[in-house]
Amino acid sequence: MEYCDGGDLMKKINIQRGVPFTEEQIVDWFVQICLGLKHIHDRKILHRDIKAQNIFLTNGGMKAKLGDFGIARMLNNTLELARTCVGTPYYLSPEICENRPYNNKTDIWSLGCVLYELCTLKHPFEASSLRQLVSKICRGRYSPVPSRYSYDLRLLVTQLFKVNPRDRPSVTSVLRRPILEKHISKHLDTQPLLPLAFAFLLFRVCVHVQLSATASLVVKSRRWANLNTNICLWTRDKGVSRWDTLTRHSSH
């Protein structure tokens, strides 16, 4: 488990005391959150509790990490719908408020709530009672994002807040937006690609040696095979997930 010395995003929002974040900072954090969400959505996992308190900061507040998977749910396939009513009220999607089946698009709604908070320093949907809050969420009524931010950023917020989940973009689609694309590369570490390629090459050499060499060479090759396994595990932990995100993104 990694210690995030920058606290969570809600704490960062609160200490702003009304001073808005720059669009550059907002988009940079948002891209990192989206990359984390894409990683789990690609594996058919719903987070179900995306909120500013569950996004943690490190590296002097520059790195954002999606955390707290306590109520996450894995679906059998991308078309399966979940039914359990879970989450934090301010971030609930209309379909959950109405007790309807939902899928990964409910995470997209919550993602929109976080983006809105970064732009306005407040919740998009607020009310004096839970009943009124649910009513506002189900109608999709919220104050517009300040005009100090670009049209593209404000448009993205409206798209994430589509009441019908089918009208909301997937996180992959969100990451393709020009406003986000230019920030993606600096959060993808391509260095593990070389060790990964080397590991596969090493594995092929070891197999060849095992099939054709003497017993002493077989023992030696097994040591290399063990080394290869360690390299594969290291690249999987440190880089394969990011590499997978990069290749999927660049192929579209």
| Lowest pLDDT segment from 47-56, 62-71, 157-166, 213-222 | 213-222
Distance CA 8, CA 51 (A): 10
Given this model, what pLDDT does residue 26 score? Answer: 96
pLDDT band at 67 (very low <50, low <70, confident <90, very high): low
Residue 65 pLDDT greater than 70, yes or no: yes
Residue 125 pLDDT greater than 90, yes or no: yes
Tokens of 83: 């039914």
Given this model, what pLDDT does residue 193 score? Answer: 39
pLDDT band at 252 (very low <50, low <70, confident <90, very high): very low
| CA 96 and chain centroid, separation | 20
Residue 241 pLDDT greater than 60, yes or no: no
Pair 34, 171: CB distance under 8 Å: yes
Return the ∠ at Cα 203 (arms to 202 and 209), rounded to 5°: 90
Q: Determine the angle formed by the axes of helices 241-251 and 23-41, rounding to 10 degrees.
A: 100
Residue range 157-205, pLDDT digits in tens:
999 999 999 999 999 999 999 999 888 888 876 444 334 344 434 444 4
pLDDT band at 119 (very low <50, low <70, confident <90, very high): very high
Residue 120 pLDDT greater than 70, yes or no: yes
3-state helix, strand, coil split of the chain in percent (to 5) is 60, 5, 35
Pair 222, 207: CB distance under 8 Å: no
Q: Determine the angle formed by the axes of helices 215-235 and 193-212, rounding to 10 degrees.
A: 160
152 or 196: whose pLDDT is higher? Answer: 152
Sign of the Cα torsion 248, 39, 42, 151 reads negative
Three-state secondary structure call for residue 114: helix
Pair 161, 142: CB distance under 8 Å: yes
Name the residue among 67, 61, 165 with its Cα closest to residue 108. Answer: 165
Distance CA 108, CA 104 (A): 7
Query: Among residues 49, 107, 167, 244, which one is catalytic?
Result: 49
Residue range 193-240, pLDDT digits in tens:
334 344 434 444 443 444 344 344 333 434 333 333 333 333 334 443
Q: Is 8 a catalytic residue?
A: no
Given this model, what pLDDT does residue 124 score? Answer: 94
pTM over 0.75: no
pLDDT band at 2 (very low <50, low <70, confident <90, very high): low
Given this model, what pLDDT does residue 186 score? Answer: 80
Given this model, what pLDDT does residue 14 score? Answer: 92
Q: Among 1.10.510.10, 3.40.50.150, 3.30.830.10, 3.60.20.10, name the CATH number for the domain at 9-187.
A: 1.10.510.10
Residue 111 pLDDT greater than 60, yes or no: yes
Each domain of the chain, given as residue ranges in start order, spans: 9-187, 193-251
